[in-house]
Amino acid sequence: MSDLVDCLPRPVAFVLGGGASLGAVQVGMLEALEEIGLRPDLVVGTSVGALNGAVLAERPDGAVTRLRTVWGELERRDILPRNLLGLAWRLTQPTNSLLGTEGIEQVAEDMLRAETFEELEIPFVAVTLDLDTGGARILDGGPLVPALLASAAIPGVFPPVTVDGHLLVDGGPVATVPVREALDRGARSMVVLDCTVPGPRGTYRTVTDVLTRVAAIQLRNQLESALVTVAAAVPVVVLDAPPARWVSMVDFDQSMALMTDAHVAARSQLAALEVHGPGLYGEPFARYDGSRRVGPWRGRPSVGPLPALPIGPKRTRA
């Protein structure tokens, strides 16, 4: 068992961010955490992070094996429509989404046996965006699958989901990596599983390239803002990103490689990591900038580019 297990104050939250098909990265990270014997007391997830997180919270023992099997078999056609004519027809209709929820709902039901939050072994929170209030809405009770569909309902792609009278969509616009939500739920330390994969910088040749880059900038700024507050209060371990590669967020063909890359990166980081009080341990921002800079894991928190982030450990006397 790693010393990290004893270094992180309880309760420990695992925070799983969104990222569509890049969610396979989180499986490799979870495998590395399982190897050192670190289990969460709380799981907080957004979008695909909510799907993976629910499986972990249901039965931590064997969760990695189950997730690896699901992600190894998952194909694009399981989520996206095979009939392009049907998709084109929806574009001509008065509808609030390009796709229905049938595919993602089937995946969620296949991944889980539990039907409600109350059946999960570990407390679990799914983060969504309330379309009416414009703020994050936290789901932690009642039927499980509708909550997961809401957390993963990418606006315009999947339809909003009504839960307890609230019209909800993917929580990414307000909390792609929900560290604030984990702190609000009482976490005294957290491990962040951000499934963003750095892509090599280059010429932005297509509309998709430009939109993807703009989204990365927005998400980076969102995360920076959240970490300033959270890392000042508790230790935040941000697991290392896998090596850069070209991969689309709707590409499931590289899932096995992503799981392997993430496992190797996280295992190497965890082997050298020491935690000494509140601070930011790891490099959370480089993955959004198209690079992969390795942070100083041993002995002190690494810091991002913002001076407001903690610059060193706050040691406490025994």
The radius of gyration of the chain from alpha carbons, rounded to an integer in Å, stands at 19
Whether 47 is a known active-site residue: answer yes
Contact assessment for residue 196 and residue 218, using Cβ atoms and an 8 Å cutoff: no
Instruction: Classify strands 189-193 and 235-238 as parallel, antiparallel or unpaired.
Output: parallel
Q: Which of 130, 170, 194, 240 is catalytic?
A: 170
> Nearest-CA neighbor of 298 among 268, 267, 275, 265?
275
Which residues are part of the catalytic machinery? 47, 170
